[in-house]
Amino acid sequence: MAGLGEFALIRQFFAAAACAAPAPGVVRGIGDDCALLQLPPGEQLAVSTDTQVAGVHFPERHDPFLLAQRVLAAAASDLAAMGAAPLGFTLALTLPAADPVWLEGFARGLDAIARACGLALIGGDTTRGPLNINVTVFGALPAGQALLRSGARPGDLVCIGGPTGEAAAALPLVLGEREAHGAADAQLLAQYWTPQPQLALGQALRGLASAALDVSDGLLADCGHIAEESAVRVVIEAARLPLSAALRAAAGSEALRLALSGGDDYVLAFTVAPHAVTALQVAGLSFHIVGRVEAGGGVRVLDGAGRDITPAAAGYQHFGGGDGQA
Ligand code: ADP
Ligand code: MG
């Protein structure tokens, strides 16, 4: 790296960060050729990697403090979706320049979200090039208890861990196409920049949910993965979807479309047998029942009268085939 050297940069902004301090399960963190993780006996390692590219996943003009939170939250959401307890993460940064102001903001944001999620920074890589951020997260869970996409059964209920559509509704604000005004727009922007990975919910779903994933490409597109992997039909009842006041205010008649097909929500979607729903409610978990699983295939959306109102488009795909957001 130009200016600040690569090793000085790593030391100053990452190795010295509070989130890189010694943590349970981390035998060796930043500083050697590999990090070393120790799992308790009988636990499996859950691993997920996520790359975000400037101009594709986030705007070139951004606040690095918020960007760091969004990138790590998106990756941690995959641990939540599996029911894994967070352990640590690596950070592979490709930077156009060693800009101390950007790095300071980014490191601060990373530290905030890492500590909130219980994720220790255990290593990474630092190179020069167009801005590109890769995060790999590691989590632990009892062997055989991961929440897969493949376990949904006809008769199960379909649930989501929170409202969808708000991050998609924030996009015109994020892209500077519209000025933010008031608390509702602030809520949409917070949902876009600082989504809250549902780690506690995911771990509570172990042994109860029949299938789960996190909604990143749009509710319908992601429910399509459960439908396919479980060989079932997922039926969403539009009237049951929680459409927030902020979403309605910003999107008007488009609110339902964004809740179904917008991306970047990072809430969990899961299926659960009706008898197990009670256990989740008793545990005080917050979620919404939005539909049911039937025999068949694909995803259907029904209106209040039971009419099929399934939209044609599914969600975003980087190499074509969708119409959603990056
Ligand atoms: P190597 O050449 O063996 O890949 P590096 O010189 O790239 O090692 O990195 C030195 C140490 O700093 C390693 O432990 C690596 O994991 C860590 N590291 C490099 N970049 C980052 C970063 N952006 N954030 C956190 N740790 C990093
Ligand atoms: Mg290296």
Q: What is the 3-state secondary structure (H, E, C) of 176-242?
A: CCCCCCHHHHHHHHHHHHCCCCCHHHHHHCCCCEEEEEEECCCHHHHHHHHHHHHCCEEEEEHHHCC
Q: Ligand 1: which atom is nearest the Cα of residue 93? A: 23
Co-location of 81 and 177 in the same domain: no
Measured by CA distance, the residue closest to atom 16 of ligand 1 is 123
Reduce the DSSP state of residue 84 to 3 states and report it: coil
Is residue 302, in this structure, part of any structural domain at all? yes
Domain tally for the chain? 2
CA–CA separation, 160 vs 172, rounded Å?
25
Judged by its nearest atom, the ligand closest to the C-alpha of residue 9 is 1
Q: Ligand 1: which atom is nearest the Cα of residue 121? A: 25
Measured by CA distance, the residue closest to atom 20 of ligand 1 is 125
CB 235, CB 158: distance < 8 Å: yes
pTM for this entry: 0.94
Is residue 150, in this structure, part of any structural domain at all? no
User: Which residue in this structure is represented by tokens 């209040």?
Assistant: 304
**Domain span holding position 195:** 157-323
Ligand 1 residue neighbourhood (C-beta within 6 Å): 10, 14, 30-33, 91, 93, 121, 123-126
Domain boundary, last residue among 108, 142, 176: 142
Ligand 2 being an ion, which residues bring their Cβ within 5 A of it?
125
Is residue 105, in this structure, part of any structural domain at all? yes
Co-location of 176 and 94 in the same domain: no
CA angle 111/113/116 to nearest 5° reads 105
DSSP 253: G
CA of 65 to the centre of ligand 1 (A): 21
Tens place of pLDDT for every residue, the chain, 326 residues? 546 889 999 999 999 999 999 999 999 999 999 999 999 999 999 999 999 999 999 999 999 999 999 999 999 999 999 999 999 999 999 999 999 999 999 999 999 999 999 999 999 999 999 999 999 999 999 999 999 999 999 999 999 999 999 999 999 999 999 999 999 999 999 999 999 999 999 999 999 999 999 999 999 999 999 999 999 999 999 999 999 999 999 999 999 999 999 999 999 999 999 999 999 999 999 999 999 999 999 999 999 999 999 998 655 666 665 444 33
CA–CA separation, 258 vs 262, rounded Å?
4
Judged by its nearest atom, the ligand closest to the C-alpha of residue 32 is 1
Is residue 67, in this structure, part of any structural domain at all? yes
CA–CA separation, 199 vs 296, rounded Å?
31
Co-location of 162 and 270 in the same domain: yes
